[in-house]
Amino acid sequence: MPILRGEQFENRGIGSGPGASRVMNPECLNPKEGSERNESQMKTSLTTTRSPLDQVRRRRQVSVKRTGASTRPRRAFNSDDERLLQHLLVNEQDYIDNEIFRTPDAERMIYDEAPDIQKPDTSWYHPVMDDLNAPRERSDKSSQVLLTAAEERVLFLQFNYARHRVSELQKEIWASPDRTPTDDQAWEMLRWSRLAERLREQIANTNLALVLAMAKRTRMSEVDFADLVSEGNMALLRAVDKFDCARGFKFSTYACRAILKAFSRQGMKLSKHRQRFPTDFDPKLERSNFLETRRGELEKDTAEEVRRIVDENRAELTDIERTIIEHRFGLETQEYSERPMTLEQIGQIIGVTKERVRQIQNKALEKIRVELEETYLGSQQSAQAERQLHEITGFGLN
């Protein structure tokens, strides 16, 4: 079929309406060009459409104001940065204040002029794996770092100053009308927060031996040693957050009391639990489902025996009785999923009323019940009685 030009459309009287320019466009009349344009439109829609996961990530992103006077190159936040920023923008940062923080050159005095402090080595720390009852010395005991009072002061000043800077940035952001951080504020907050976390971890790792020493000294018979160490470590982290180095005491003095109070709380908690639950979990004391299981097995075996009685006609059923039982209880097929017939349906098959079908059914069931009690259930009861007698006396009936 030849392609018609715009003039041919006009000659045929087609190009007179408002959509004539769209119909007479030669590009739309070329099928090859139309298919290429459709493919390009589909590719553009696929690239611009975001997946559900991208939409969720976009909703969870922290909005940051992009300012032209930013001092650092723009780069995207990763997932860890997003989570940390969301936490810092919602939760207020606490810290232990010090008068040095308000001096003009506080950052230079606290960080640049501070002496280098040795970082601890925690490769020796395996409290649960070691045999704590055995009095043996660790060969790498000298690798533990013991801080002086001056070194502890330096670390705690650096730790609290970093948290102080995070708190000041939070106040600046929350004081703005839209409560949205700029790009520089977001990166500064992340930097100071991660520095505070590293210093907190360094202080805690340096004092891990203190937790072990206190746990060995206060061994409680009702509390597991691993639980004591876990509670002591949590108390040590809380003590790092609350310690004020300006009071002139060493951190170990403050931390020992906090760890002992944590041990005492753990013992009281376990004591209340013991009062409420005097015994531990014992599977032997659990309720047994033997009777339910045994009853289910007996019902299943009895149903199979009834099927065999009807199939072999051991109850001497008549042809009508057998037909009614098979149709009524679905015994004519091996498929249990087939729905049994009603009394009215069976009556239509054999040509009697449903009341008569019910009477014949009851008579047939009585015959099956007698046969079942005499052959199957009687043998089951005698076998059970023989087993019970054998368990009691050790001898059978024979």
Residue 107 has pLDDT above 70, yes or no: yes
**Confidence at residue 68, expressed as pLDDT on a 0 to 100 scale:** 54
Are 312 and 348 contained in the same domain?
yes
Residues 270 and 301 in one domain: no
Whether residue 262 lies inside any domain: the answer is yes
Q: What is the mean pLDDT of residues 203-221?
A: 87
Confidence check: pLDDT of 133 > 70:
no
33-47, 237-251, 309-323, 343-357: which has the highest mean pLDDT? 237-251
Residue 66 has pLDDT above 80, yes or no: no
Domain at 232, CATH number: 1.20.120
Q: Which domain, by its residues, includes 362?
A: 290-393
Q: Which of 211, 242, 276 is the last residue of a domain?
A: 276
- Note whether 271 and 325 are same-domain residues: no
Task: Report yes or no on 31 lying in a domain.
Answer: no
233 and 355 co-located in one domain: no
Domain identity same for 180 and 227: yes
Q: Decide if 284 is inside a domain.
A: no
328/271 same-domain check: no
Per-residue pLDDT band for 397 (boundaries 50, 70, 90) equals very low
Q: Identify the band that residue 73 occupies on the pLDDT scale cut at 50, 70 and 90.
A: low
Residue 289's pLDDT is: 78
pLDDT of residue 48: 52
- Same-domain status, 349 and 321: yes
Q: What is the average pLDDT across 376-392?
A: 60
pLDDT of amino acid 12: 43
- 235 domain residue, yes or no: yes
Q: What is the pLDDT of residue 222?
A: 72
- Lowest mean pLDDT: which of 9-18, 133-142, 268-277, 366-375? 9-18
Could you tell me if residue 378 is inside a domain? yes
Are 199 and 127 contained in the same domain?
yes
- Tens digit of each residue's pLDDT (9 = 90 or more) over 166-179: 999 999 999 999 88
- Comparing 228 with 141, the larger pLDDT belongs to 228
| 335 domain residue, yes or no | yes
| % the chain with pLDDT above 70 | 67
Domain's final residue, options 254, 276, 298? 276
Residues 130 and 190 occupy one common structural domain = yes
Of residues 141 and 99, more confidence is placed in: 99
- What total number of domains does the chain contain? 2
Are 153 and 114 contained in the same domain?
yes
Whether 208 and 324 map to the same domain: the answer is: no
pLDDT at 279 over 70: no
336 lies in the same domain as 301: yes
State yes or no: pLDDT of 3 exceeds 70: no
- From 276, 311, 339, the end of a domain falls on 276
From the CA atom positions of the chain, what is the Rg in Å? 43
Q: What is the CATH number of the domain that holds 377?
A: 1.10.10.10
